[in-house]
Amino acid sequence: MGCGSSSSQGAPKQAAAAKQSGIPEDAVPYTGPLLNVCLIEVPVKMKTETNLLGINGTTTTTDVDAYFPLIAAPYSDGFVLRQFTPITGAHKRDNMFSMSGTQQYQAILSKPTSDTSGESWQLHIIKSALAPQLLNSGFSMMFSMKHGAVADTSHLHQQLAEQTAKGGRLACLTMSMASQGPSTTQALQGHGGVMGVDMFFNMPTHPNPTLYSYQAVNIQVPYKMVTGLASASVKVDLDWNAQLRAYLAQGWRLTDIFFDSSSSTRMGFMSASGAMNSVWFFEKDCSMIDDPTPVYEGVAIEYWQKIVVGMTGNMKVDGKWDNTITQMGQRGWELTTILSTPESKSAGMTMHMKIMMFFQRKIMTAPSVSQDPSAKENAQVSTEQ
C-alpha cells in the first residue's frame, strides 16, 4: 500500500506553536517545485536477551525485513524516502520485567507535486555497524573524571562509495536498535560493544542516472549538563543554521546528519561537559563538483518533544511534528534530517528534548529566507573524512 496522492497517513496532530521556532516566512510565494509528503509510522520490535547476569553482554535484535515492504510501498506512487527516524520517547516495553519491546519509527517520504524528471527509484538498505572503542579501560574507568569513545566508521564510508558509484543517492543512516553489549572482559579492555546501523539508499531504475559526489564532515556538538536533586538540564552550544548554510553556500546539498557514537565527557560535581561527534553528509552533482554556486537554501527548525516516563518504564510522547513537515513541503521545503540533539530539560518523570529539523529547497532567485548575519562567521572549522 502507498500514500497515493495524500500528503500524510492518518490525521496528524497540530503541534503547539510554543514547541517550535525558526519556521521561515516567505516575502513572496515560492515559485519552485512543491512537495507531497508521505508519513508512515513503523513499530519496530526489539528482543533483548541477557546471559549469565550480563557477564557475556546483552544482545538486542531487530528485523529490518519486517518493515521493509511497508516503507518501500509508496515508491510505486513516485515517493522516495528522505528519513527513517526513531520517534524520541515512543518506546513501549513488553512488560515491566522485560527489556524487550517496541520502538516507534517514522518513515518520511516525499515527491514533487508535478514531476517531469523521468526519474524512478527503488529503496535499498545496507546493514552496517559501529563498534566504539572506549578511551578509558580497566579499573581506570572507575576513577577517571574524563571519559570518551571513538567509533570506526570505515564500513559506512565504504558502502557509501560503493552504492553511489552505481548511481545511488544516500537517503539517511539510522541506528537500528540492534546491538551486542560487551562482555565483562571486553568492557575492561575498552570495547564499547557493537551497535547496528541501517543505511538507506535510493537506487535508480531509470537509465543513465546522474552521479553524485559525497563528503562527510565531522562537526563537534559541545554540551554542558547540570543536575539537581530532581531535575537536570543539558545545553548545546552550536549554531545549527550557520553550519548548514556554510556548506549550502558552496553548492552542496545536505543529505543527512548522524551521531557516530564518538564522544568525550569531563565529569564535575553535579555537572558534566563534553562533545558528541556529528557527521554531516553532503552531496553534489559530479559534473558540478568544482562549481561553488549555491543551489539550495536551507533552514533548521527547533522543536521540543515532551516525554513522560510511566511507573513501568514505558514512555509517552506529547505532540508530533507531522503538520510542520507537511506544511513546509507545500511551500517547497524538503525535509532532510530530523536530529535528536543532546539538549534537554527534565524534572521528575517529565523530560523535554530538543529536536532539530533540517529543510532545503532549490533557490529560484535570491535566497528568500532571512538569514542570521553572523551565520558566515559562526561556522566551525570542520574535519572532512
pLDDT of residue 292: 96
Helix (H, G, I), strand (E, B) or coil at 158: helix
In whole angstroms, what is the distance from residue 171 CA to residue 203 CA?
10
Contact between residue 300 and residue 335 where contact means Cβ atoms under 8 Å apart = no
With a CB cutoff of 8 Å and minimum separation 6, the contacts of 344 are 232, 233, 234, 351, 352, 353, 354
Helix (H), strand (E) at residue 361: strand 350-362
Give a yes or no: residue 3 inside a domain. Answer: no
Contact between residue 239 and residue 375 where contact means Cβ atoms under 8 Å apart = yes
Q: How many domains is the chain partitioned into structurally?
A: 1
pLDDT of residue 384: 40
- What number of residues does the chain have? 385
In whole angstroms, what is the distance from residue 167 CA to residue 15 CA?
37
Give a yes or no: residue 189 inside a domain. Answer: yes
Burial class (CB in 10 A: 0-12, 13-18, 19+), 1: exposed
**84 lies in which domain range?**
17-113+122-205+213-384
Contact between residue 12 and residue 39 where contact means Cβ atoms under 8 Å apart = yes
Residue stretches of the chain with pLDDT short of 50: 1, 4-18, 143, 370-385
Give a yes or no: residue 83 inside a domain. Answer: yes
What's the pLDDT tens digit per position in 21-78? 778 889 889 999 999 999 999 988 877 766 655 555 576 767 767 889 999 999 999 9
In whole angstroms, what is the distance from residue 368 CA to residue 325 CA?
19
At 264, list the grid cell. 568525550
Q: How many other C-beta atoms can be found within 10 angstroms of the C-beta atom of residue 260? A: 23
Contact between residue 193 and residue 157 where contact means Cβ atoms under 8 Å apart = no
pLDDT of residue 140: 53
pLDDT of residue 137: 54
Cell 537500528 belongs to residue: 176
Radius of gyration over every alpha carbon of the chain, rounded to an integer in angstroms = 21
Cell 539510522 belongs to residue: 174
DSSP 283-348: EEEGGGTT-----EEEEEEEEEEEEEE-TTS-EEEE--SHHHHHHHHTTTPEEEEEEEEEEEEEET
Closest C-alpha to 296, from 111, 33, 25, 96: 33
Give a yes or no: residue 26 inside a domain. Answer: yes
pTM, two decimal places: 0.83
Give a yes or no: residue 4 inside a domain. Answer: no
Residue 74 DSSP code: G
> Which amino acid makes up residue 294?
P
Angle (CA) 125 129 132, round 5°: 155
Give a yes or no: residue 10 inside a domain. Answer: no
pLDDT of residue 382: 37
DSSP 12-72: PPPPPGGGEE-----SS---S--EEEEEEEEEEEEEEEE-GGGTT-EEEE--HHHHHHHHH
Give a yes or no: residue 2 inside a domain. Answer: no
At 260, list the grid cell. 557516530
Q: How many other C-beta atoms can be found within 10 angstroms of the C-beta atom of residue 229? A: 6
In whole angstroms, what is the distance from residue 168 CA to residue 125 CA?
11
Give a yes or no: residue 11 inside a domain. Answer: no
